[in-house]
Chain A
Amino acid sequence: MELLEGEEELIHSEVDSIFQEFTPERENLIPVLQETQKRLKYLPKLAMQKIAEKIGIPEVDVYSVATFYNQFRLYPPGKNQIKVCMGTACHMMGGHIILESFERRLGIKEGETTPDREFSLERVACVGCCALAPVVVVNDKVEPKVSPIRVDGILLSYEIEKKLEEKEKDAEEEGKSQ
Chain B
Amino acid sequence: MSVTRSEVAKAYEKLQTQAKKKVESLKEKPLVTVGTATCGRASGALEIFNLFQEEIKKNGLDVNVMEVGCMGHCYAEPLVTIYKPGFPSLCYGSVDEGKAQRLINDYLINDDPCFEFAMAALEPNDFFPTFADYPRGVYEYKIVMELCGLINPEDIDHYIAHDGYAALVKVLNMDPDDVIEEIKNSKLRGRGGAGFPTGIKWELCRKAPGSPKYVICNADEGDPGAFMDRALLESNPHQMLEGLIIAAYAVGASQGYIYVRAEYPLAVTRLQTALDQARSKGLLGDSILGSDFSFDVKIFQGSGAFVCGEETALIASIEGKPGIPSHRPPYPATQGLHGKPTLINNVKTLSYVPHIIRKGAEWFKSIGTPESPGTAVFALAGKVKNTGLAEVPMGTTIRDLIFYVGDGIRDEKKFKAVQIGGPSGGCLPESALDLPIDFDSLQEAGAMMGSGGLVVLDEDDCMVEIARFFLDFTQKESCGKCTFCRLGTKQMLEILTDITKGKGNPEDIDLLWELAEDVKAGSLCGLGKTAPNPVLTTIRYFRDEYEAHVNEGRCPALMCKDLIMYYIIPEKCSKLCDVCIGSCPTEAIYTRPDMLKAIDQEKCVKCNSCLVACPPQYKAVIKISPPRPVEEGEMKQDE
Contact = CB atoms under 8 A, between A and B. Distances in A.
Contacts of A140: 265
Interface string B377-395: 0011111000110000000
B334 to A, nearest CB: 20
A43 B322 CA distance: 16
Contact of A89 (B303, B320, B382, B586): B382
A29 B614 CA distance: 54
A31 B300 contact: yes
Interface of A is mostly: helix
Interface string B601-636: 000010111001000000000000000000000000
Interface in B576-593: 583, 585-586
B570 interface: no
A13 to B, nearest CB: 23
Contacts of B381: 88-89, 130-131, 133
Interface residues of B, number: 62
Which size class do A's interface residues fall under? 35 or more
B461 interface: yes
A124 B75 CA distance: 22
B419 interface: yes
B600 interface: no
Contacts of B202: none
B264 A128 contact: yes
Interface string A41-85: 000000000000000000001001100111110000000000000
A34 B301 contact: yes
B75 A131 contact: yes
B469 A100 contact: no
A178 B21 CA distance: 61
A69 B469 contact: no
A156 interface: no
Given A70-B303, A71-B262, A147-B612, A130 B225 contact: yes
Contacts of B230: 128
Given A88-B382, A132-B42, A29 B585 contact: no
B236 to A, nearest CB: 16
Interface of A: 25-31, 33-34, 61, 64-65, 68-72, 86-92, 94, 97, 100-101, 104-105, 124-133, 135, 140, 142-144, 147-149, 152
5 contacts: A30-B300, A30-B320, A61-B321, A88-B224, A130-B74
Interface of B: 38-39, 41-43, 74-75, 77, 221-227, 230-231, 262-265, 300-301, 303-306, 317-324, 379-383, 387-388, 419, 422, 453, 455, 457, 461, 466, 469-470, 473, 477, 479, 583, 585-586, 605, 607-609, 612
The 10 A-B residue pairs with the shortest CB-CB distance in the complex, in nearest-first order: A131-B74, A70-B304, A88-B225, A128-B227, A69-B303, A87-B224, A29-B320, A131-B387, A142-B42, A68-B322
